[in-house]
């Protein structure tokens, strides 16, 4: 026979005031059943009095949208609508870009594609490509990175003093809300580009090395989130157009890029969001 909660509470109160046998006769419920109800009631009371006071309430922190390597102007054609959809799905209030927002293929020390853009044209295309991202995300914490720093390194190698080298903000014609730094710390999670390690378990190796929660980019493949105790680690993948000439070097690599982005909720939960694509490499619109 099923009993509602209000009836159970009344029976338990009567049993505590008298005894289980008396409550059994009064309510026509078996003595064994009432003893079980009383035991559960006492366990709940013990929890409230001894354990519950020591449980800290959830501290609501930031809901971070993590933008991985875009490599503009060689970003995936659906990168922006995909990011906006993920931001809306998770109600993200903070945005971090993990770096390599620009590719600067022409500035590379590696061989350049002879049919590719020249230095000036590529910079023009980078800025043009980033403009929609500036409008969509007016405030972004950006991590310095090995691709975006390429022009600065060339200026430094040419012997130009620091006063002649432009800031990232000026070089990329960025809005005031876009700020660059080597690392960003939000809710005890460190966000950085991710140079220095590689491979499938790089995010876990970074976690072990820094002994704290981390999120990185740089490694285009193996997008994933993992945990070790209360610490999280995530490689947020990338949002590149792998068919672009800047990525010809990876054409025959067995392991392909993990196209997607990341989300970190309150510094406690990391989610790698893959971009589901169709046979034409376009986002299907699904999350």
What pLDDT score was predicted for residue 57?
62
**pLDDT at position 63:** 96
CA distances (Å), origin 91, targets 68, 85, 95, 189, 202: 18, 10, 11, 19, 28
What's the N-to-C CA distance of the chain in angstroms? 45
Select from 97, 102, 187 the least CA-distant residue to 142: 97
pLDDT in tens, the chain (287 residues): 678 888 889 988 988 889 989 888 888 889 898 898 889 888 888 878 887 777 666 556 899 999 999 999 999 999 999 999 999 999 999 999 999 999 999 888 777 788 888 889 999 999 999 999 999 999 999 999 999 999 898 899 999 998 988 999 999 999 999 999 999 999 999 999 999 999 999 999 999 999 999 999 999 999 999 999 999 999 999 999 999 998 988 888 889 999 999 999 999 999 999 999 999 999 999 99
213-216 and 231-235: which strand pairing? Answer: parallel
pTM (global) more than 0.85: no
- Please state whether beta strands 189-192 and 213-216 pair in parallel, antiparallel, or not at all (unpaired): parallel
The pLDDT, as a whole number, for residue 88 is 97
Instruction: Please give the pLDDT value at position 1.
Output: 67
* pLDDT given at position 202: 96
CA distance 198 to 219: 7
- Domains of the chain are 5-54 (no CATH), 63-274 (3.60.21)
The strand pair at 231-235 and 224-228 is best described as antiparallel
Predicted pLDDT of residue 268: 96
| 10, HSE (Cβ side, Cα atoms, 13 Å) | 9
Phi, psi dihedrals of residue 272, rounded to the nearest 5°: -95, 120
Interior angle at CA 123, CA 94 and CA 84, nearest 5: 25
Q: What is the pLDDT of residue 60?
A: 65
Distances (CA, A) of 220 to 13, 36, 199: 63, 57, 10
What's residue 266's pLDDT? 95
């Amino acid at each position: 026979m099923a009993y509602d909660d209000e009836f159970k509470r009344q029976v338990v109160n009567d049993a505590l005031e008298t005894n289980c046998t008396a409550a059994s006769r009064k309510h026509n419920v078996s003595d064994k059943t009432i003893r079980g109800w009383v035991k559960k009631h006492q366990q709940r009371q013990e929890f409230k009095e001894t354990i519950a006071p020591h449980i800290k309430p959830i501290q609501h922190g930031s809901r971070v949208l993590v933008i991985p390597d875009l490599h503009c102007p060689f970003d995936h054609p659906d990168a922006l609508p995909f990011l906006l959809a993920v931001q809306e799905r998770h109600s993200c209030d903070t945005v971090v870009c993990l770096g390599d927002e620009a590719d600067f293929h022409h500035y590379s020390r590696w061989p350049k594609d002879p049919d590719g853009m020249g230095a000036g044209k590529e910079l023009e295309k980078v800025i043009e490509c980033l403009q929609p991202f500036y409008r969509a995300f007016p405030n972004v914490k950006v991590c310095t990175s090995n691709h975006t720093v390429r022009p600065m390194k060339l200026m430094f190698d040419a012997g130009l003093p620091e006063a002649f080298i432009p800031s990232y903000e000026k070089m990329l014609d960025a809005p005031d809300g876009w700020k660059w730094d080597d690392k960003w710390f939000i809710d005890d999670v460190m966000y950085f580009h991710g140079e220095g390690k590689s491979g499938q378990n790089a995010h876990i190796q970074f976690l072990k090395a820094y002994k704290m929660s981390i999120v990185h980019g740089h490694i285009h493949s193996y997008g994933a989130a993992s945990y070790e105790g209360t610490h999280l680690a995530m490689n947020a993948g990338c949002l590149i157009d792998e068919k672009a000439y800047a990525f010809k070097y990876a054409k025959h690599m067995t392991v392909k890029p993990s196209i997607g982005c990341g989300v970190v909720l309150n510094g406690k939960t990391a989610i790698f969001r893959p971009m589901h694509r169709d046979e034409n490499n376009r986002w299907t619109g699904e999350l």
